[in-house]
Structure 1
Amino acid sequence: MKGTKQPWAHRLLGMVMVAGLVMGMALHAEAGAETTPRLVIGQGASTAEDGGAAALEAVERSRTGLGERPVSFVMVASSEGYDFNQVISGVRKGYGSGVKIWGLTSHKGVMTREGWQKGKGLSVMAFSSEHMAFGVGDAELDDPEAAARAACRMAVKDAGKSPDEKPAMILMTASFGEEERLVDEIDAFFGGGVKIFGGSSGDNNLSGEWRQFSSRGVHKKGVVLTLIYTDLKIGTMYGNGIGYVATGKRGTVTRAEGRVIYEIDGRPAGDVYNEWLGGTIAEKVKNGGSLMFEGILAPLTQTVTASDGTSYNLTIHAVELNKEDGSLTSLAVSKAGEEISILHGSSDAHFNRPPIVAIMGRTDGRIAPGEVAGTLFFCCACTHMVLEGRVGGFIPMVNRVLNNAPFLGAFTFGEQGFIPGLGNRHQNLINSMIVFGKY
């Protein structure tokens, strides 16, 4: 399936972009007379080798958009390989010791509106607003539920708020492996109804060099949360299933434990997956092996129906076929009794997804193109894996949708987001956008 052309993907992109431009004009027409931004975001990047120097250079470049405005909160996306205590020190030196930091590492580089910053480097996105309050909390992941509660309590205190006051949204990053438990516990802490968006920190080759960090310190296996309190416009889109088409091949999970699917319809899950793929992984059924690439272009999916009747495909990336029992190891939790099927995608569809998701995120917040203050983008690292030399080629299209506003993107090892009628979820192979409005 590698390199398969999908003309429908280009047609869909064209239709959605036209619709987005029309919606943008309509939003602009209905916008009020307010002209002074209530939120200003500055962005800067650096490829300096030293962590402190890179942070200071990125801060200085962000001043082009910020001027001398005070900064209360900064997001940092970085490649692996830095001394992140130096990065934290550089950010605090540049913006002031009281600045609050939320940061994560990204697979093989970071994305900005200037393009794909491959290799070692970092980017900052700094927030200046009197109409936003931020609270950052972090914890080690020895016990996921306890860590989630501790990070929530810390973040509430850091924001100067009460636990009864719900934030507008929550940013989350963690080391991959326990995301479902973290999301459930964070959701429960605030009584549900608060959007949780984020991405699991990545590294270059799954070697464990991912990091999560805040102004308090650096974690290899931890969780970092930011609570955002505001009445400004925020649009979100959790792009599950976008760019994939259904195949009609489906079954029921009859045995599963955590992220391992043992049986589908009472048979070894690997045998069923091989049949759904037309026998193309027969050798791996016999000897075991990685399904990383097959799982990107032909993911498993759980079809669920939201409270409003809308159906969603929640993608599950199978990454290993286990020789001993024919089971499938995946990157998301499955449960016995769930209906499961297989989708079909392509590299072209992955290339065209980001601008589509950007349009949907912007219109979700009813934010006109000229009202975009900045955007945070979480993109599954698998998109990087299938795009080869085209990584970052979609950024000019994203810039067009977002009026060239500050844009910070990371390639992550799993994505968290909110689905209307279903709530907060952790899945794989997702593009998600958070679009912050100026007003």
Structure 2
Amino acid sequence: MTTLQSFAVTGDTTAQAIANLAHAVGEAPTGAHFVCVFYDAEHEDDAIFDFLRARFERAAILGGTSCNGVMSQNGLAGSRSIGLLVLDDPLGNYGTAATQLHGDAADCAERTLHAALENADCAGELPELIWVYQTPGQEEAVIEGLRRVVGDRCPIIGGSSADNDVGGQWRQMGPDGVIHDGLVVGVLFSSGGIGFAFQGGYEPSGESGIVTRIGYDPVGDSGVVTQSCGRQIISIDGEPAAEVYNRWIGGALEDKLESGGNILANTTMHPVGIDVGKIEGITSYLLIHPDKILADGALSTFASIEEGTRLYSMKGERTRLISRAGKVAAAAAAMLPGGESSLAGGLVVYCGGCMLAVGEEMPRVARAVTENFQGKPFLGCFTFGEQGAILGKNAHGNLMISAVAFGE
């Protein structure tokens, strides 16, 4: 039988937060098999890891920094918080492995997945779910490397670690401690089954266009183009991408078209989307967040786009971003082999950009998840990129929500 416990504490110092965490954990099973940890980037990683390794000696550990803390079934823990999800499943198998993403990220991901399978004593087997937590920037390459081993035969769920101000202070935590610019891969073979969902809380605003030129991504110092997608949209329908996008969102970027620069605050409610197919007759979109205007009117984005893709202008509202998290949790629970009545608890990845946009209403997001997870233990992190499976294909997007439900 699978049992879950979730804990979320705060503290002005890391030492104080860990003391509060030790008190909260109390007599939780020390033989836990899988432990997820997410925490405010202001905390000291090594102290957190030392506590976890001493308290849960044999557990597979996975986690890292989360934008302004965590949420759980007890609500929004907020800044300076640390959250744990402790999973005990004597009949299951769990393993994690970590690496720095130096060189070819796809190769790194492939090797790390094999290491995680070995650590789970399941080398060569197909996990029920792969959980990833990584540095932002190479998510598509990581998924490519993982798919070399498993294809789309199992979901790849997770997030890109975050800090509080997009300053690059995000970190990851694996079985051997904290890493920077890295990737942590977890493989889950759950005895109670797993359900999952991956959605966004936005809808089309009506405009769309074809990406006619992108900024290619050279590998190394050769400058040789090795792929036909990238994170710079140079033109849409033959026009400078920033000018087209500015028209789509009603001229909100007019004062930045010449000077360029960061547009994150202006675009959180106005991402672009890619049509990935229909679910029960309703079109689903993978969301992509424009973050900068570059030279010559190009747009920088937080996810890669292929040349020739039709982009749709999307719009969001705070009320939809609040309610969507609960709907994603409910969809994950409904996927459990034993149905939602078998739910033991879960994990939620909620975009950090959405979290900042929702602001003071974030406690309502935590309540929505709690209600749809039937009050069962869950832990939620706030990320700068989200990974999930949508219509049978693993993908990376922005401003998205992922949920994993564990069966008893």
Q: TM-score, normalised by structure 2?
A: 0.91
1:344 aligns with 315
Aligned with 2:172 (options 194, 212, 215): 212
Distance 1:435 1:46, change over 3 A: same
Distance 1:172 1:389, change over 3 A: same
Q: Which amino acid aligns with 1:253?
A: V
Alignment of 1:100-139 (within 5 A): 100-139=60-99
Distance in 2 between residues matched to 1:111 and 1:217, nearest whole Å = 23
Contact 1:41 1:127 in 2 (8 A): yes
1:29 aligns with none
Distance in 2 between residues matched to 1:239 and 1:366, nearest whole Å = 20
The secondary structure found in structure 1 opposite 2:304 is coil
Q: 1:110: Cα distance to partner?
A: 0.8
Structure 1, unaligned runs of 5 or more:
1-37
Distance 1:188 1:300, change over 3 A: same
Alignment of 1:404-415 (within 5 A): 404-415=375-386
1:81 aligns with 42
Distance in 2 between residues matched to 1:227 and 1:59, nearest whole Å = 27
2:224 aligns with none
Distance 1:289 1:69, change over 3 A: closer
Aligned with 1:376 (options 337, 347, 359): 347
Q: 1:153: Cα distance to partner?
A: 2.0
Q: 1:51: Cα distance to partner?
A: 4.1
Contact 1:44 1:60 in 2 (8 A): no
Q: Which amino acid aligns with 2:394?
A: N
Q: Which amino acid aligns with 1:436?
A: F
Contact 1:111 1:117 in 2 (8 A): yes
**Residue deviations 1:133-160 (CA, integer Å, cap 9, x gap):** 1111110011212221221121111011
Alignment of 1:290-369 (within 5 A): 290-305=262-277, 311-322=283-294, 324-365=295-336, 368-369=339-340
Aligned with 1:172 (options 116, 132, 135): 132
Distance in 1 between residues matched to 2:388 and 2:359, nearest whole Å = 26
**Residue deviations 1:391-423 (CA, integer Å, cap 9, x gap):** 2222222212212111100110000001123x1
Higher helix fraction: Structure 1 or Structure 2?
Answer: 1
2:242 aligns with 270
Say how many residue pairs are matched.
Answer: 393
Contact 1:332 1:426 in 2 (8 A): yes
Q: Which amino acid aligns with 1:331?
A: F
Q: Which amino acid aligns with 2:365?
A: F
Higher strand fraction: Structure 1 or Structure 2?
Answer: 2
Contact 2:263 2:293 in 1 (8 A): yes
Alignment of 1:187-206 (within 5 A): 187-206=147-166
Q: Which amino acid aligns with 1:186?
A: L
Q: TM-score, normalised by structure 1?
A: 0.85
Distance in 2 between residues matched to 1:247 and 1:45, nearest whole Å = 38
Structure 2 residue 217 is matched with structure 1 residue 254: no
2:219 aligns with none
Contact 1:51 1:86 in 2 (8 A): yes
The secondary structure found in structure 2 opposite 1:271 is helix
Q: 1:60: Cα distance to partner?
A: 4.4
Distance in 1 between residues matched to 2:231 and 2:380, nearest whole Å = 27
Percent of residue pairs bearing the same amino acid type: 27
Structure 2, unaligned runs of 5 or more:
216-229
The secondary structure found in structure 2 opposite 1:185 is helix
Contact 2:67 2:352 in 1 (8 A): yes
Q: 1:373: Cα distance to partner?
A: 1.2
The secondary structure found in structure 2 opposite 1:391 is helix
Moved more, 429-438 or 46-55: 46-55
Q: 1:306: Cα distance to partner?
A: 6.8
